[in-house]
Structure 1
């Protein structure tokens, strides 16, 4: 995704948020929100487009196109600046709290004079919030939960933002004469959900040109520290980048050293000490003589310690070292293993691309099968109807003739009601190839209520996959509470798969819960949940999460050949 697109989308979304605060027209607000999603997912860099070109972006009409042209010319949108001036900065700061919302933020400012997170926390502790219309004890609890969620996120960014920055830096540094190797390492290489600092590792005989190039990059806002071995900069994107340059002969040891978690590296160094060795970023040495033993590749370092190479996504000291010693490391699922995608959307509901464009993009990925799963009618704002769904089924059938090499599946993303029911009756659902069911509302039920809700939907013979099971949105919405072991038992018993949603703000089911679910024999689907062709890029993040959960190809139903997948889906339906 072009950085210009991301910045423009953020401004358009901010415009929607500001209009929400000021009581703007609901239709216009939704139009801006849909346009923001479309801009983020648009495959072309919008910075070179005129108004006519901008209007080709889905959900971007004349008015929004002119605002984007304003952004291309000035770097901002004038209406956003005007609205910012009308709304106190404290109110805008409060809207960053995931569970508060713009209108409630304005209410606490107007009624209580609260204009900061500490003031809001104090008002809640004193019981002043529940005196306001529309507020109560449950609202206070939810807002406090949102404050804690925001504070935990801190200065960390989602993996896609960190990855884009890292790849830009690596690409620039790789062109420097004398740079022999350059990659990102650290938590990003381990595919953590959120990233603090981006670690970049390079190999060169002379580190000077690389250090100079990093500090001169246009994306650098200021230099925190600069030296021969390490340079740290703060970027214009608000993320710190740490560059370390090592001699070429130390590459493998350095890559191992700067990739693993602190706990993983402590364990590895302990193994080295017990073997009479010393491990550092420069190599594995004999502790007594100081003689270098190995350092050129990660494989050499691990092998000399009696271990096979351990995939970066497992290096968290959560059992991977013992598994390596036992010869029991899993053959992790990869993006190349995915034969299909079982969850995606079109502009029939909240997607930003047509059915034809989404199918073409799926075919370009080389998929063997692809499911279109637009939202069902109980998510009323998407305006789905039986007639629209049946018309789409006919359109999918017509498109199938144009793509004989890829099997198209017609399905839906159903909405899990508070009691575990779903949209449509059994007769209608039986006509769908695949049904994903997800929680989209009532996120604050008790753990007992949510557990019953999820168990009941697993027992529905027409539900094949539970979509983004915890319903979390990183930094914005906490996961629902449930007895997950009970849910996993239900999934295993009923043959219901759990999704690993690839959206960077979801990555749901999380890795720790994936590993727990594996113990019950649950199967999984690693799905894009794409709302535009550009969202297919997110699959690598979902695969990274699946790897962190120790999933193999056999654990993931959309790595299976189509006939095996159809057998899995049919067994669920046969229980009807």
Structure 2
């Protein structure tokens, strides 16, 4: 089951949205948003905490703490219930559309009576919105795109992090059942896709019954959809469908290969089997004429009899991996253990949730050789950053660096790329940082030409060494920038600017397809967590998975390099004006 922290985060964020919809004070909505993020990212479980314990979490005052205690005791918050009653459910549905804010949703409801996403799409197509104040033809285009994003992200699909948490709990529970030889998740989750429709779990055992019963009885199982001898399907409290199959131990490799997919990859492998006079199924690779099994126990064995090396699951998308395998040209993919440090993280000096010392200690516990702190620069006004504050942080970081002998600390900043491509601080000030990440945070509505010039100009600054979350997308919530990214990738290759693979599950930016495109230009990459809390540092696994889907090797990724090589990369080009 999910931690109480996530449940509290969701209800507080909903209340912040309800305040914004009703036209309440902006500072009050922001206070609840900040408290929601703080509780969601808090390392300790808030279940059982009292008001005093909750108030120790940054951003949680007495009033919010009291509401959290009310929720933890009763499963509801009176004020939130009353706010829900005052605001039509249809309006709450509308704010799920990316690019459509709470106040515009309320205007659409009050002026046009729109109370569902379907009604909104119909109104846009009928051009009924463009006469409203604050709306126009471009707004209509953005809303339609947002509806499309919402629908494509819907259909029961969830972020990989949600599915992974659920899958790992289930696998751990089934491994504890007597008679379990092996247990693993498969499907799109094993291939590290960014969103997951359902979870496939496989068990190798002689008897299926105990595992089918165990899955149905798990505390997180909300509904048993089907319960049989070969397959059991349940729905969890998170709304995810989980399909369990129990295989004979001798069929484990064939079953794992089959249920990992993808469908297109499996079609390719079956065709190879047919050409070799074989038949491939979830039970094994067998002789087509005699039915005798020739390979089944391990995936390596199955692929080997097909004349292929073992193909890492993230590559199994029918994007050339079969041909590369036949030629002996599969890449040796980057692994999480290759990552020597994180180059994009935040503290509570800006919008992070944990102090500098806690973030550094958590990074050291991960065994990093180096670690960069990159708080926001002053152009994001809500962060209230100043030169004095960032220099004071540098002094604290240098003092910590002397105490962490096994891990070098780098002082950096995340710069905001302005509408014209300008940055927050002048070059002489930027020269004092070990690493500068530059990212777009606003004005997403510029023309494609302006956006492209803007990003390219930032990359041409000699102090910018990493382009942060390059497309700015938020999965299911905000589309990527409408820029010419081939021109951006070419500029990054020319200027020696690494492209970030942002590991936050809501971003995974660059995505795998963009990585594949960018790699052809010869660019380097940085896989970073963009952590705003100590609990976010492990998100790196999702960035690594995305990088693997983009066929990246360790040498492609700058934060797999030894510190001396990384420093040379970060310093390269700084002499140019």
Q: Which residue of structure 2 aligns with residue 335 of structure 1?
A: 336
Question: 2:96 aligned with 1:96, yes or no?
Answer: yes
- Contact 1:464/1:572 (<8 A) preserved: no
- Match of 2:372, SS state, is strand
Residues 1:224 and 2:233 aligned together: no
Q: CA deviation at 1:2?
A: 4.8
Gaps of 5+ in 2: none
Q: Matches of 1:235 and 1:278 in 2, distance apart?
A: 35
Structure 2 CA distance for aligned equivalents of residues 537 and 12 of structure 1: 24
What's the counterpart of residue 63 of structure 2? 63
Structure 1 outlier segments of 4+, above 4 Å: none
Matched residue SS, 1:46: coil
Q: CA deviation at 1:403?
A: 1.2
1:545-575 CA deviation, whole Å, 9 max, x = no partner?
0111111110000010111001001113122
- Which stretch shifts more, 393-402 or 514-523? 393-402
**Aligned match of 1:125:** 125
1:3 is matched with 3
Superposition deviation, residue 445 in structure 1: 2.2
Provide the rounded CA distance (Å) in 2 between the counterparts of 1:404 and 1:36: 36
Q: Distance in 2 between matches of 1:76 and 1:365?
A: 37
Please say which of residues 221-230 and 188-197 is displaced more in the overlay.
221-230
| 2:346 is the alignment partner of 1:345 | yes
Whether the 8 Å contact between 1:34 and 1:352 is mirrored in structure 2 is no
Alignment of 1:557-572 (within 5 A): 557-572=558-573
Q: Are residues 1:392 and 2:393 paired?
A: yes
| Matching residue of 1:105 | 105
2:46 aligned residue: 46
- 1:544 paired with 2:549, answer no
What's the offset of the Cα at 1:119? Answer: 1.2
Kindly state the Cα deviation for residue 390 of structure 1 after the two structures are TM-superposed.
Answer: 1.4
SS class of match (1:285): strand
- The range that moved more, 47-56 or 352-361, is 47-56
The whole-number CA distance in structure 1 between the counterparts of 2:534 and 2:196 is 25
Alignment partners' CA distance in 2, 1:446 and 1:283: 54
Post-superposition shift, 1:176? 1.5
Shifted more, 3-12 versus 216-225: the winner is 216-225
Contact 1:2/1:45 (<8 A) preserved: no
Q: Which residue of 2 aligns with 1:281?
A: 282
User: Shift of residue 405 of structure 1?
Assistant: 1.7
- SS of equivalent to 2:232: strand
Deviation of 1:23 after TM superposition, in Å, equals: 1.6
SS of the aligned residue for 2:47 comes to helix
| 1:77 Cα deviation after fit | 2.3
SS at match of 2:413: strand
Q: Is residue 2:136 matched to residue 1:168?
A: no
Structure 1 CA distance, aligned partners of 2:541 and 2:192? 9
Q: Residues of 1 paired with 2:48 and 2:313: CA distance? A: 38
Tell me: CA distance 1:364–1:2, structure 2 relative to 1, closer, same or farther (3 Å).
Answer: farther
Q: Which residue of 2 aligns with 1:262?
A: 263
Whole-angstrom CA distance in 2 between matches of 1:174 and 1:182: 6
Number of the residue aligned with 1:426: 427
Equivalent in the alignment of 2:136: 136
Determine if the alignment matches structure 1 residue 324 to structure 2 residue 345: no
CA distance in structure 1 between the partners assigned to 2:58 and 2:190 by the alignment: 34
Residues 113-122 or 548-557, more deviating: 113-122
Instruction: Give the drift of 1:255.
Output: 0.4
Match of 1:383 in 2: 384
Q: Can you list the C-alpha shifts for 1:247-300, whole angstroms capped at 9, x where unaligned?
A: 111001000101120000000011111000001000010000000111110010
Q: SS at the partner of 1:114?
A: coil
For residues 185 and 383 of structure 1, the distance between their equivalents in structure 2, rounded to whole angstroms, comes to: 46
The equivalences for 1:479-490 within 5 A come to 479-490=480-491
Counterpart for residue 18 of structure 1: 18
Aligned residue runs from structure 1 range 404-415, under 5 A: 404-415=405-416
1:175-230 C-alpha deviation (Å, 9 max, x unpaired): 22222211110000000000001111111111111111111222222222221111
1:453 to partner: Cα distance:
1.4
Paired with 1:320 and 1:570, the residues of 2 have a C-alpha distance of 36
Q: CA RMSD in A?
A: 1.2
Cα deviation, residue 351, structure 1? 0.3
1:403 and 2:404 correspond: yes
SS in 2 for 1:344: coil
1:78 Cα offset (Å): 2.3
Superposed displacement of residue 62, structure 1: 1.6
Is this contact kept in 2: 1:2–1:44, CA < 8 A? no
Compute the displacement of 1:444 (Å).
Answer: 2.2
The question of whether the paired residues in 2 share the 8 Å contact of 1:71 and 1:77 is answered with yes
In 2, the alpha carbon distance for the partners of 1:517 and 1:375 equals 26
Question: What does the per-residue CA deviation read over 1:425-447, in whole Å, with 9 as the maximum and x for residues that have no partner?
Answer: 11111111110001101112232
Q: Secondary structure at 2:260's aligned position in 1?
A: coil
The count of residues paired between Structure 1 and Structure 2 equals: 576
Deviation track 1:55-93 (CA, whole Å, cap 9, x = no partner) reads 222222222221221121112322211111111101101
Q: Secondary structure at the match of 1:573?
A: coil
Q: Equivalent residue of 2:415, what SS?
A: strand
The aligned residue for residue 145 of structure 2 is: 145
Return the alpha-carbon distance in structure 1 between the equivalents of residues 169 and 4 of structure 2. Answer: 14
Deviation string, structure 1 residues 348-403 (Cα, Å, up to 9, x no partner)? 11001111111111111111111110111111111111111111111111221221
Q: Matches of 1:301 and 1:172 in 2, distance apart? A: 28
**Deviation of 1:424 (Å):** 0.8
Alignment-derived partner of residue 199 in structure 1: 200
Equivalent residues of 1:500, 1:510 under 8 A apart: yes
* Whole-angstrom distance in 1 between the partners of 2:499 and 2:178: 48
Q: Where do residues 27-42 of structure 1 align in structure 2 (5 Å cutoff)?
A: 27-42=27-42
